Amino acid sequence: MQLATSSASGLRLGLCCLFNSEPIRFRTTTAKALLALPRAGQLIKLSELCLHNAKSLQAALQALHRLGIGAFRIMSPLFPRMTHPDVGYGMDDLPDGDAILTTLETCRLFAQQQLIRLSFHPDQFVVLSSPSTQVVASSVQELAYHGWLAEKLGVDLINIHAGGVYGDKFAALQRLAEVFEDLPEPVKSRLTLENDDVSYTPQDLLPFCQKHQIPLVYDVHHHRCNPDQLTIEAATEQAAELWAAKGCEQYCHISSPKTGWGSPNPKPHADYITLDDFPDCWRSRTMTTDVEAKAKELAVRRLMSDLNILTANHCQH
């Protein structure tokens, strides 16, 4: 891990990607729409979107500072379709490339000054354990994009799932290990693994993470949906040791089930976090926890209030 953003102690709650009430929006486009344009037209459109999104990120960080929120997950398509095989591009190709890079630098400095911890969570198409060399190759390319952007923005971690099982978890993790060793340094130094809600439990991942010195992002909602023999306390503590070994503040995820724990499918996320779902053993820790809730910054603020961790500077309504 490159840096430990924190000089603070205690719990830090993070927002995932989007805002509910704040007027901050990120734009995107599709490959199909781009392919209807000549190349020069594609690049003009992409340049506008990238500049807009970089400015939106800057506005997002300012809003987070105002709200007293100490962590932010940046959406992966900040620069839409950048690694697409047919319409992909580099900063040098964009008319506003210099302005975009300048804005990223402004964001990096602001986040550093205000101690806002940044993360990435590339989506489900990044699968390093796949038996398909094609899938692995495009995954590595996508991670390289995240690594490049992470260096520009001072992003702490790039968090992914272990991927598919393909009938043999051990063999799948073996493949993951081989790919991990050869990742470019900006990616390798930031890569973390997260337990998921269908395949890989904390117990599956912890020995692997220990062996390869990869921090585990412990998602307690996934653990409750996809349990193993570990208690929440034990999983939290063993994950904490991995972060400590890297000299980095621990990172976790929390969410509540939309339809309740007794419902047939507790996996979908609710608008807000039910305080009972927040593990007691997390309250006294120093760590970052992303709040995966549909009400976005409103849910983060409510949980901060419920946990009594609003700071004097940021108690505003």
Is 207 a residue that touches DNA (CB under 7 A)?
no
Is 62 a residue that touches DNA (CB under 7 A)?
no
Using CA atoms of 210, 212, 213, 218 in order, give the dihedral in degrees to the nearest 10. -60
Q: Which distant-in-sequence residues (6+ apart) come within 8 Å of 217 by Cβ?
A: 157, 159, 192, 193, 194, 195, 239, 251, 252, 253
Among 123-131, 179-187, 274-282, 300-308, the segment contacting DNA (CB under 7 A): 123-131
- In the complex, what is the shortest distance from the CB of residue 284 to DNA, in angstroms, rounded to a whole number? 27
Residue with tokens 């709200």: 67
The interface with DNA within residues 87-116 (CB under 7 A) comprises: 88
Is 204 a residue that touches DNA (CB under 7 A)?
no
Quote the longest CA-to-CA distance of the chain.
57
Is 30 a residue that touches DNA (CB under 7 A)?
yes
Nearer to DNA, 141 or 210 (CB): 141
Contact indicator for 244, 289 with CB cutoff of 8 Å: no
The interface with DNA within residues 244-263 (CB under 7 A) comprises: 255
Nearer to DNA, 209 or 299 (CB): 299
34 φ, ψ to 5°? -65, -40
Tokens of 182: 């050869």
Q: How far apart (Å, rounded) are the C-alpha atoms in residues 27 and 235? A: 37
Is 300 a residue that touches DNA (CB under 7 A)?
no
Contact indicator for 255, 278 with CB cutoff of 8 Å: no
- In the complex, what is the shortest distance from the CB of residue 56 to DNA, in angstroms, rounded to a whole number? 10
Is 18 a residue that touches DNA (CB under 7 A)?
yes
Nearer to DNA, 3 or 31 (CB): 31
The interface with DNA within residues 139-158 (CB under 7 A) comprises: 142
Among 138, 201, 256, 289, binds DNA (CB under 7 A): 138
- In the complex, what is the shortest distance from the CB of residue 251 to DNA, in angstroms, rounded to a whole number? 16
Is 84 a residue that touches DNA (CB under 7 A)?
yes
Is 274 a residue that touches DNA (CB under 7 A)?
no
Is 273 a residue that touches DNA (CB under 7 A)?
no
Is 166 a residue that touches DNA (CB under 7 A)?
yes
Alpha carbons within 13 A on the beta-carbon side of 19: 16
The count of chain residues that interact with DNA, using the rule CB under 7 A, is 45
- In the complex, what is the shortest distance from the CB of residue 315 to DNA, in angstroms, rounded to a whole number? 26
Among 89-97, 147-155, 162-170, 182-190, the segment contacting DNA (CB under 7 A): 162-170
Among 109-117, 132-140, 201-209, 243-251, the segment contacting DNA (CB under 7 A): 132-140
Tokens of 29: 């486009």
Interface residues with DNA (CB under 7 A) are 16-18, 25-33, 36, 76-77, 81-85, 88, 123-125, 127, 130-132, 134-135, 138, 142, 163-166, 198-199, 255, 265, 267-269, 292, 294
